[in-house]
Amino acid sequence: MDDETRWTLNAPQVVDETIDGEVMIIHLVTGHYYSLLDVGANVWQRLRAGQAQRKIVDGIACGFTGEYSVISDSVIQFLAQLQQEDLVRPLDADAAATEAVIEESTTAVPPPFLPPVLNKYLDMQQLLALDPIHETDERGWPHAKTE
Residue 58 has pLDDT above 90, yes or no: yes
pLDDT of residue 29: 84
Q: Binning pLDDT at 50, 70 and 90, where does residue 110 land?
A: confident
DSSP state of 51: -
pLDDT at 4 over 90: no
* Cα–Cα distance for residue pair 142/126, rounded to 1 Å: 10
Of 44, 132, 49, 122, whose CA–CA distance to 88 is shortest? 44
Enter the pTM of the model. 0.78
Find out whether 46 and 56 touch, Cβ atoms under 8 Å.
yes
Q: What is the pLDDT of residues 15-37, one digit of tens each?
A: 999 999 999 999 988 888 999 99
Looking at residue 31, its amino acid is: G
